């Protein structure tokens, strides 16, 4: 079920890359910000992490728009590699700030659902995992609807297909790029509180998250949203099976080995162009 969460994280990264040709290496670190915001809401107000979504989503959305509009886009016209380097610098800034404010220790945030379980015949699922799965699926469906059924979505698809042609059609490409980046980061504002009851928050959790999102994006076929979803589910399943059959240290390596093997078999990804 965690695969659906990984897929949603990677969808945001894929959208950003498709519209602006920018690889945001700090993508997962914005999720870490959302997790710690959820921790702060719980610590200060004693509110459930799921309720903190009302805070984390608008904050992360605004943070994404500001970061792209006033920092990234100012250097992106020079070269996309320079913009990518800015996101690399953001990694150290975010990690250092979180470590300074919250400390380097691991933090956990309990949810009102606790450690309850839901039974589906012989299958038993932890309730926080089920909540994260259902929320990720719902948000994924909403995102696909936004892209396929709205004027904004048509503009996004036009920019993805041909930026120059989109500009000739009167589409404000820069505005679309800013909004898409904000939405991609805003999704992490939703995901952060959802995963906080499942996985502990550390200042460095963003690195693994970004690596997984990048693997999912590449294996799904760069720029292919459906492929990204399928890839996320596959790699999430591989990780779950690895944790079930192997010890922690070995299980941590299995998804990366599987990624290499799958990429050798399908160099352009599951649904990538031949």
Residue 274 has pLDDT above 60, yes or no: no
What pLDDT is stored for residue 118 in this prediction?
A: 76
pLDDT tens-digit map of 61-99: 999 999 999 999 888 877 778 888 999 999 999 999 999
Q: What is the DSSP string of the chain?
A: -HHHHHHHHHHHHHHHHHHH----TTHHHHHHHHHHHHHHHHHHH---TTTTHHHHHHHHHHHHHHHIIIIIHHHHTT-HHHHHHHHHHHHHHHHHHHHHHH-SS-B----TTTT-EEEETTEEEEHHHHHHHHHHHHHHHHHHHHHHHSHHHHHHHHHHH-HHHHHHTT--HHHHHHHHHHHHHHHHHHHHHHHTTTS-B-TTHHHHHHHHHHHHHHHH-TT-HHHHHHHHHHHHHHHHHHHHHS-HHHHHHHHHHHHHHHHHHSTT-SS---
What pLDDT is stored for residue 245 in this prediction?
A: 85
Ranges of each domain in the chain: 2-201
What pLDDT is stored for residue 46 in this prediction?
A: 87
pLDDT tens-digit map of 218-265: 988 888 888 898 999 888 888 888 888 887 778 888 888 988 988 888
pLDDT tens-digit map of 172-191: 999 999 999 999 999 999 99
What pLDDT is stored for residue 130 in this prediction?
A: 87
């Amino acid at each position: 079920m965690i695969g659906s969460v990984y897929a949603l994280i990677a969808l945001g990264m894929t959208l950003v890359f498709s519209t602006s040709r920018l690889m945001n290496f700090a993508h997962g670190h914005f999720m870490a910000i959302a997790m710690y915001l959820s921790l702060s809401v719980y610590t200060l107000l004693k509110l459930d992490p799921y309720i903190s979504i009302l805070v984390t989503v608008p904050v992360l959305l605004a943070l994404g728009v500001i970061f792209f509009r006033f920092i990234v886009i100012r250097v992106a016209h020079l070269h996309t590699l320079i913009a990518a380097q800015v996101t690399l610098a953001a990694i150290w800034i975010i990690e250092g700030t979180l470590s300074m404010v919250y400390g380097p220790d691991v933090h956990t945030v309990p949810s009102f659902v606790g450690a309850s379980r839901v039974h589906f015949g012989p299958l038993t699922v932890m309730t926080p995992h089920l909540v994260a799965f259902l929320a990720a699926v719902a948000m994924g469906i909403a995102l696909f609807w936004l892209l396929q059924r709205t004027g904004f979505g048509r503009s996004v698809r036009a920019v993805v297909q041909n930026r120059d042609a989109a500009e000739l059609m009167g589409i404000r490409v820069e505005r679309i790029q800013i909004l898409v980046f904000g939405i991609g980061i805003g999704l992490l504002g939703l995901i952060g509180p959802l995963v906080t009851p499942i996985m502990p928050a550390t200042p460095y959790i963003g690195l693994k998250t970004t690596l997984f999102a990048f693997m999912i994006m590449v294996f799904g076929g760069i720029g292919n949203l459906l492929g990204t979803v399928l890839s996320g589910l596959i790699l999430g399943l591989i990780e779950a099976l690895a944790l079930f059959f192997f010890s922690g240290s070995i299980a941590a390596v299995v998804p990366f080995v599987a990624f290499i093997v799958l990429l050798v078999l399908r160099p352009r990804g599951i649904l990538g162009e031949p």
